[in-house]
Amino acid sequence: SIPPFVHVPKPYTGISGAEIMEKRKQFLGSSLYHFYKTPVNIVEGKMQYLYDENGKRYLDAIAGIVTVSCGHCHPDVVDAIVNQTKLLQHASTVYLHHAIAEYAEAMASKMPGDLKVVYFVNSGTEANELAMLMARLYSGNLSMVGLRNAYHGGSTGAMGLTALNTWKYPIPQGEIHHVVNPDPYHGSFGSDPLPYARELQDHIHYGTAGNVAGFIAETFQGAGGAVELAPGYLKLAYEIIRKAGGVCIADEVQSGFGRTGSHYWGFETQGVVPDIVTMAKGIGNGLPLAAVVTTTEIANVLAAKIIFNTFGGNPVCSAGGHAVLKVLDREKRQEQCASVGTHLLERLRAIQQKHEIIGDVRGRGLMVGVEFVKDRVEKTPATVETGLLFEKLKDLGVLVGKGGLHGNVFRIKPPMCFTKEDADFLVDTLDYAIDTM
Ligand code: PMP
């Protein structure tokens, strides 16, 4: 059952998709890797739906890569942005402005423990760079430890933390180590966290000088293919890291703001409190906004020099980000992620019984992964088939994300206003697409 049309898109008067493609090829430096074979020209967005130049509607199940948390053009977020833009678009953080101060206070109120000092930056990459700097300065150590299959950004340092060769260039990235990620589906130790934690301890013993600066992990590896770390792992890992003199960084760029359904932050699903939290994407519903939150004690190490970021926490982004926090609370989106996510997982697991190609269905809340394999024993990636399904779903009006080193995982991380009817439409469409492949 397709949910009723709730929005009539405005007639499109811009240039055609083919012309845009031509201009992209000629003038834009970004890679065409993620493109559909027949790309869509998205011209309008309304909550969980996107519209192309012909007014065709798409159910957006990836939210601009886990970014549009409240929904496309959510009216309250738009109003906050427009109103602030009309008053004051930018000054500088050397002046006082109420928007950044009120927003920082609201953000701090969402954090557990002593995590009360907020730094606003512009992207997840920058947030992780700053977190790594804090860890190194605070600990007095150099070695950073991360997990295999992680994505933490694309600048030199953040790319160093990333551990997926699709995103890495061989440039000097300096004293960054990667240990085995506790992946319940692919990992040699299944979902037992202990052997993975031992591997981390061994790596510190044998692969570093013994003391580390910090450890960074996504509780739910996103670009790596929607992998939830084995339960219990972070508790063990944090203990090991703290004993080795390091601080623990949670990369919440994808998993924060209630998306897991069960908790506001992804790390809370593992019962840990990090020393530094980085966030981006869903924080601003699409605004270029990100943040690092830490304790006063760690923040003090940055007091010796000026930490200046021209755009970080500018009035418009602060007003928009603050509106996001309020909207998600008022509209009870965390609860919605929990109930819709449970329904979505149940429905996906039901069609998994029928389709051999679906090797794994995993996730929590509205952070779901569907892994396509050639055979369920060897788990050989069905990369080509995933690509065909990805394209076919788009033609049928459903947009999902792709992930994993081999590109054989569908990532379903829609705007948090996604409903049970949307989940049914997605699953019915996927079922049909596989049946008719
Ligand atoms: N961390 C994670 C977990 C991410 O998914 C991303 C972006 N895919 C980043 C960091 C980097 O964020 P940005 O693209 O905003 O620099």
Dump pLDDT digits (tens) for 199-211.
999 999 999 999 9
Span from the CA of 254 to the centroid of ligand 1 (angstroms)? 8
416 near 366, Cβ under 8 Å? yes
Q: Whose CA is nearest to atom 13 of ligand 1?
A: 124
Q: Whose CA is nearest to atom 3 of ligand 1?
A: 253
The 10s digit of each residue's pLDDT in 265-276 is: 999 999 999 999
* Average confidence (pLDDT) over 223-232: 98
Res. 251 pLDDT band, cuts 50 70 90: very high
Question: Could you tell me how many residues make up the chain?
Answer: 437
Look at residue 167 and give its three-state secondary structure: helix
* Average confidence (pLDDT) over 298-307: 91
Mutational test site, ligand 1, from 151, 218, 259, 402, max ligand atoms within 8 Å of CB: 151
Res. 25 pLDDT band, cuts 50 70 90: confident
- Determine the pLDDT at residue 128: 98
- Determine the pLDDT at residue 1: 47
Q: Which helix (H) or strand (E) holds 394?
A: helix 383-395
* Average confidence (pLDDT) over 301-320: 92
C-alpha dist (Å) from residue 241 to 97, 112, 118, 213, 412: 38, 20, 23, 9, 32
Q: What is the ipTM of this complex?
A: 0.99
Which atom, in ligand 1's list, is nearest to the CA of 223? 5
Span from the CA of 437 to the centroid of ligand 1 (angstroms)? 33
Span from the CA of 319 to the centroid of ligand 1 (angstroms)? 22
* Average confidence (pLDDT) over 352-381: 98
Give the residue, 120 or 6, on which the prediction is more confident: 120
Pairing of strands 247-251, 214-217: parallel
134 near 276, Cβ under 8 Å? yes
Span from the CA of 6 to the centroid of ligand 1 (angstroms)? 32
Which of 294, 308, 279 has the alpha carbon at shortest distance from 66? 279
User: Which domains occur in the chain, in start order?
Assistant: 75-330 (3.40.640.10)
Span from the CA of 94 to the centroid of ligand 1 (angstroms)? 28
DSSP code at position 187: S
58 near 397, Cβ under 8 Å? yes
The 10s digit of each residue's pLDDT in 66-87 is: 999 999 999 999 999 999 999 9
C-alpha dist (Å) from residue 78 to 24, 71, 176, 321: 28, 11, 40, 11
Distance, CA of 313 to CA of 303 (rounded, Å): 18
Span from the CA of 155 to the centroid of ligand 1 (angstroms)? 11
Mutational test site, ligand 1, from 123, 159, 281, 287, max ligand atoms within 8 Å of CB: 281
- Determine the pLDDT at residue 175: 96
The lowest-confidence range among 30-34, 330-334, 376-380 is 30-34
The CB of 280 under 6 Å from ligand 1? The reply is: yes
48 near 417, Cβ under 8 Å? yes
* Average confidence (pLDDT) over 414-419: 98
Tell me the CA end-to-end span of the chain in Å, nearest whole number.
Answer: 21
The 10s digit of each residue's pLDDT in 43-65 is: 999 999 999 999 999 999 999 99
The CB of 130 under 6 Å from ligand 1? The reply is: no
On whether the pTM is more than 0.90, the answer is yes
Residue 378 neighbours by CB under 8 Å, 6+ apart: none
Look at residue 15 and give its three-state secondary structure: coil
